[in-house]
Every structure is written in structure tokens, then in C-alpha cells.
Structure 1
Amino acid sequence: MSQYKIEAGTGQHPGDRQEQQDRVALFGAAKAPGFMMAVLADGMGGRTGGAMAAEQVIRTARQLFDEFSPLTGDIDAMLHTIAIEAHTIIKLSGLTVEKEPHSTLVVLVLTPSGSAHWAHAGDSRLYRYRGAAFAERTIDHSFVERLIEQGRLRPEEAANHRLSNILVNVLGSLREEPYITLGRHDGLQAGDAFLLCSDGLWHYFSDEEMGAAIAANSPRQLSELLIGQARQRAAGNKADNCTMAVVKLTAL
């Protein structure tokens, strides 16, 4: 068994938007003791449609996690099914609303054997830290990331690029089927931490800034600190919804 305990929390702010279209949640698994899930979705496509799309991601994740058993199921297969089922329902629901709803997805599952599994679609991110040290993060499914991969854009230019909000992969699209990128890390230990967040948060921080804040604060303190700083740094702009979930592994 793993020699750590899990501390987790979530935080949200609507930014300068009229409605909160992000959704975030933390779950235990009914049939898988010791497993936990964090899931975050950034809904888009009109006020009502965006919120509906993100809510559907959370609802689908919870339902499939409740049904998951490590004796008969595979975590990566479950993560893939969450994305595909949510995509299908959002797409069908879009036929009844004014605008095309769609959503990002980032989901993390921790196991009692000390492994972490995650998946994402879109530009909501997962960061992994060991103490304050940045270890890795997901790569956005965005137009600017494609430009970076092709050598046509430098990474430091991405955040302020005029097309930085254009995504190439989302759940709910009527034109293209989504793809999901999977990740895994084994050997979890006390001091490890994960941050899931929407672009309304990560846009305002470097990887190193967030690592220092995660290491020095409890989940609740961290949520208040990062969201407060994001609001200050967004002053003068029409800031997006700001949403996060943090999962920290601390010594017993």
C-alpha cells in the first residue's frame, strides 16, 4: 500500500463572464476502494450550451467511475469511454440548442497501488509536480501547439498569439470525432501533486510559479491564492472562467 494520504480541493471563479461554464469535481469509486478521480471540463458554445456540455462531461465521468471495478475493468479504457460517451451525448444535445456546444476534458485517476492515470482533450491541462519541481504537463490540442510542433512558432509566443484560443480537438464537435491523449506515472510518493485547470487559470502563470505555490499551500489556500492572482493579472481584460482542482500526496 502507498505510504501517503491524499489532500484535494477545487476552486472556481466566473472571471468577467456572465456565467460559469466550467465544471470540476472529485469522486471516490463505489466498486474500487482507494481509487479517486478528479475531472475538469471547460464548456463552450453559447451560455446555455457550454454549461450543458461541461456538466455532461462530469456526469458521464461520475457514472462510469461508479461502475468501474479494478477486477474487471481497465482504467485507460474507462477514460477513453468517458470521452467518447460524453462527446456523443453533447453532440446529440446540440441539435436542440441554438449554438453548437462543446467541451474540453481533463481527468485524473489515482490508484491505491501508487499509480496515476490521466487523459485530456482540448486545452484544459494537467500538471504533475514533485515537491515544488515541475515534472510534466499535458500538451494542448490547439492550433498554436501545432504551430510549435511544426517549428513555425516559439513556445514563449504561444500565450499571446492571436489564435491561441483555437482548439483542434474538443468533445461535442459535429464535424470531427475527438481523440484523447493518455498519460501515466507510477511510483507515487509523498510530495507529489497534480493540478488540473482551465485556460482561465494557467494562462497567467509559469510552470515554476504554480509549483512553488502548490508546495507551500494546502489545497484550499492554493485555490484562493491562484485564483486571486489570476484575477489581478487579468485586470483590464475580459477574463475567462477560472477553474482548478489540486490533488496533493502528503506523508502519513
Structure 2
Amino acid sequence: MPISIDACVAQHQGDRREQQDRVAILPHPRGGGVVLAVVADGMGGHTGGVLAAQQVIHTARDNLARFSARTESARTLLEACINEAHTLIRASRFLNEKEPHSTVAMLLLQPDRISWAHCGDSRFYHFRDDQLVFRSTDHSYVMQLVLQGRITPDQALSHPNRNILLTSLGGAQAPKIAFGECVGLHPGDTFLLCSDGLWSYFSDQEFAWVINGSSSVREASELLVNRARGLAVGDGDNISLAILRLFETPPAVKTRPPAGSA
């Protein structure tokens, strides 16, 4: 039975002065069941973060338009998107006198597989029904402490240095990029990309319950944003997310014409 996609994006400015995140779900202009989802969390003072995040989306769109699934690997596309955006963000510093940076999470969906890449603390999640299959690991100071066993994941959420990143797009050093792939997709697979303005309020299991328990990804996104806003109590960051859920497409029902009809 063929598989279809239910997908949406959602954003909220939170309690910040401006929305510096950008998010997009980009179908390949030539079709073929290829879709690229991107979440970029911009940083860098007034308008600087906006410029950086917009550059990530723009570069991703341009690279996707040139991508050929027959002759290029998904990793090549994702790596080019991130590295080219990094270079252009760095160059914009001299034109705009800003200090723009951005994190990013990307997902490339093809008919038989998904491939992902991320830099910084924007996250990628893969759920199958109500179970977590995979979650990306943040490139952050507190995540390094967690991996070293020096603090717990719960302690990381309130650590005073939780906003320190080890890498980002636009920094002095080339961005550190993590890649992954999953072959063999199933109905019930759901993919979430989001900025830290959302994931900091949810455990992995809470995400799974909300997403799996919702009748549509639009309903899930509304529930997640509303719950995050309620927990922020007036001090919430920008929120951005993209959700893609796979489901079986029922076969078309063939009807016979009435007897005697022309």
C-alpha cells in the first residue's frame, strides 16, 4: 500500500522582541517524492539572527532545486546546504556589521529513506507510533557534561550555561555537522524538527504521546506550541517546528457502471 505524508510547520514569537527562527518544508521542484524540511534558529542581536536563519532557508531551497537523487547522495546535499549557508552568513558580517549565527536541523525525505543533519541545538526526532526511535545530540556545553556523566539530563535543563553552543553556522570555525539516515520507512513514522524554544519544555516521551495521540500533525503542532507557551510563564523563546508523519494511502475503490449504462 502506498505511503503518503501529513506535514506542517508552526511558529510562535514567544516573549521575545522578534521572531529570529525560520522554518520550511520544501518539496523538490521536480517532484519524485523528495522533500526537504529545515528549522533554523537565528542568533546575533537585533536582525542579525533573522538574516542568518533566512540565509539557511534560502541556501537550502537553492541546493534542493539542483539536487538529483539519481546521481547525488543525500549527505552531499545536506552538507552543501549547511557549509554554503555558513560561508554566506560569515560574509554577511562585513556587509551588515552584525554578528549573525544560526543553528540548523534538516531532514531529507525520499521514497525509501530519510536522511538528516544538524548543527547546534536545533533538534531532529524520529518516532514510530508512540516510541522514540532516534533523537539528535545537541552540540552544546551542557550536553557534553551529560555525555560525560557530570550532570543529568534534568539538570541540563536548568544549568546556567545551557545556552552555550560548541558550534554553529556563522562562527569563526567551520560548523560541526552530525549526519544520520534511516532506510525502510513505515506508516506511523513521524519526524519532528524544532528549535530549543520548543524542546526545552518536553521529554522525549511527552513529545511521542502528543504527536501519536493527535489526529493530525496540525493538531499536534498546536498542542505543542500551546503547552510550551503555558509552561514559559512569560519568558519563552521563539518556537519553530516542522512535523512530517507517514501514513498508508487507502487504495482507490473501483466502481462498476450500472448495468445497461452506455
**TM-score scaled by structure 2?**
0.92
**2:175 matched residue in structure 1:** 178
Q: Report deviation, 1:99.
A: 3.0
Q: Report deviation, 1:97.
A: 2.6
**2:77 matched residue in structure 1:** 78
- The 2-side partners of 1:182 and 1:89 are apart by 21
- The 1-side partners of 2:179 and 2:117 are apart by 4
Q: Report deviation, 1:32.
A: 5.1
The answer as to 2:116 corresponding to 1:118 is: yes
Any conservation in 2 of the 1:24–1:39 contact (CA below 8 Å)?
Answer: yes
Amino acid of the residue matched to residue 203 of structure 2? S
* Rg comparison, structure with higher value: 2
Amino acid of the residue matched to residue 180 of structure 1? I
2:64 is paired with a residue whose SS is helix
Any conservation in 2 of the 1:25–1:39 contact (CA below 8 Å)?
Answer: yes
Q: Report deviation, 1:47.
A: 2.0
**TM-score scaled by structure 1?**
0.96
Amino acid of the residue matched to residue 219 of structure 1? V
Amino acid of the residue matched to residue 140 of structure 1? D
- The 1-side partners of 2:206 and 2:3 are apart by 24
Q: Report deviation, 1:96.
A: 2.5
**1:37 matched residue in structure 2:** 36
- The 1-side partners of 2:208 and 2:27 are apart by 26
Amino acid of the residue matched to residue 69 of structure 1? S
Deviations 1:150-177 (A, max 9, x none): 222222211111100110010001x211
Q: Report deviation, 1:31.
A: 3.8
Amino acid of the residue matched to residue 129 of structure 2? G
Aligned residue among 205, 208, 213 for 1:211:
208
Amino acid of the residue matched to residue 236 of structure 2? A
The answer as to 2:246 corresponding to 1:249 is: yes
**1:57 matched residue in structure 2:** 56
Query: After TM superposition, which residue ranges in structure 1, 4 or more long, deviate above 4 angstroms?
Result: none
**1:46 matched residue in structure 2:** 45
Amino acid of the residue matched to residue 248 of structure 1? R
Deviations 1:205-240 (A, max 9, x none): 11111111111221111111100000000014x211
1:136 is paired with a residue whose SS is strand
Any conservation in 2 of the 1:145–1:158 contact (CA below 8 Å)?
Answer: yes
The answer as to 2:255 corresponding to 1:234 is: no
Q: Report deviation, 1:60.
A: 0.4
Amino acid of the residue matched to residue 206 of structure 2? E
Amino acid of the residue matched to residue 86 of structure 1? A
Q: Map residues 91-110 of structure 1 onto 2, 5 A cutoff.
A: 91-110=90-109
Amino acid of the residue matched to residue 54 of structure 1? A
- The 1-side partners of 2:32 and 2:65 are apart by 11
Any conservation in 2 of the 1:32–1:68 contact (CA below 8 Å)?
Answer: no
**1:11 matched residue in structure 2:** 10
- The 2-side partners of 1:152 and 1:211 are apart by 27
**1:191 matched residue in structure 2:** 188
- The 1-side partners of 2:233 and 2:189 are apart by 32
Q: Name the count of aligned residue pairs.
A: 248
1:85 is paired with a residue whose SS is helix
**1:200 matched residue in structure 2:** 197
**Structure 2 stretches lacking a partner, 5+ long:** 250-262
- The 1-side partners of 2:174 and 2:203 are apart by 32
Deviates more, 1:143-152 or 1:240-249: 143-152
Identity %: 47
Q: Report deviation, 1:33.
A: 1.2
Q: Report deviation, 1:141.
A: 0.3
